[in-house]
Amino acid sequence: MEPIKNKIASILVVLSLSGAHLKMERKEVIKIYEDERGRIIASNSLTYLDDEDRYGFYPVTDKDIIIGGSFAGTPTFMAVLALGVKGVIAHECGVGKNQKAIEGVFLAQHHGIPAAAVATHSAIVSDGISVSEGIVSVCNETAKKLGVSKGMKALDAAKLMLDAKPGVKVEEQLDYDDQITIVEEHNDTKVYTVWSIGLIKEKHPNAIFCVASHSGAVMAEYTLPVNPKLIFANDAGIAKDSSGVAGLHILNDSGIAAVAVAAMSAEIGSPTSTYQDGICSVVNARAYTMGIRKQMTVKEAIDTVLKSRY
């Protein structure tokens, strides 16, 4: 096993919620428990764990249980199952249309890996420590055989999961929408669907993005370098302390229009569903000045922006 690194990145996020500013300082990736069976690692996003150069954390092993601030869907779970972890716990993010926000729990079961999700309003989205303090709302059969049950604290569930067999790297071609696609083009404005805006590596100040993720702080972190005209994401059931839409307020402070779609209107994990099915539930101030309103469809909102001076 490679030695544990002492470098652990930290993040200061300033959220504007209900007119107030809430400061949250959390370690992005941190070991929160360890015994002879393995470690429990909390991460603000499951997508952080395969980027050692960026985050400077210790490498993941087959003895690790990961608790993540991401939604518990297929694409987010695959990010850690591919690393060969022992078990995973994430956020149920409103469960969502067709239960896509917890689909990863059952994907893990297919591979004999214990997994669970915490209740939407029991934990903060994009905050691994908060998820560790959340309450389990769903778990798979492998987790149940280890003693995990609904209603228990996620950290207690993770400790039980340490009794599982060592993880094995999952290599599976899954049918989820991971393409970057131009779905509309109007003069100098292009409308893209992409599962994570983190896949976009350059600025696009005239672009509109429909993404598959929640609208929490991590979404904003990935969006800021791209500086789009407008972004649509999932409201993740709003979640504890409105953290499921906290990214909208962060982006508004940087002059970026952002809108969340209702969790039950579009499949989280599918940017195509965000674009085709999404119904606006939360609109930041910048997007409001463009004419976007709650209850508009995403397509109606895009049409409104394209017809405006923005």
Predicted pLDDT of residue 49 = 83
Predicted pLDDT of residue 251 = 98
Mean pLDDT of the chain: 88
Predicted pLDDT of residue 233 = 98
Q: What is the pLDDT of residues 207-219, one digit of tens each?
A: 999 999 999 999 9
Predicted pLDDT of residue 59 = 81
3-state SS of the chain is CCCCCCCCCEEEEEEEECCEEEEEEEECEEEEEEECCEEEEEECCHHHHHCHHHHCCCCCCCCEEEEEEEECCHHHHHHHHCCCCCEEEEECCCCCHHHHHHHHHHHHHHCCCCEEEECHHHCCCCCHHHHHCCEEEEECHHHHHCCCCCCCEHHHHHHHHCCCCCCCCCCCCCCCCCCCEEEEEECCEEEEEECCHHHCCCCCCCCEEEEEEECCHHHHHHHCCCCCCEEEEECCCCCHHHHHHHHHHHHHHCCCEEEEECCCCCCCCCHHHHHHHCEEEEECHHHHHCCCCCCCEHHHHHHHHHHCCC
Check: CB of residue 52 under 8 Å from CB of residue 68: no
pTM of the prediction? 0.88
Predicted pLDDT of residue 25 = 42
Predicted pLDDT of residue 179 = 83
Residue (of 117, 135, 26, 108) closest to 68 by Cα position: 117
Low-confidence spans in the chain with pLDDT less than 50:
1-26, 53-55
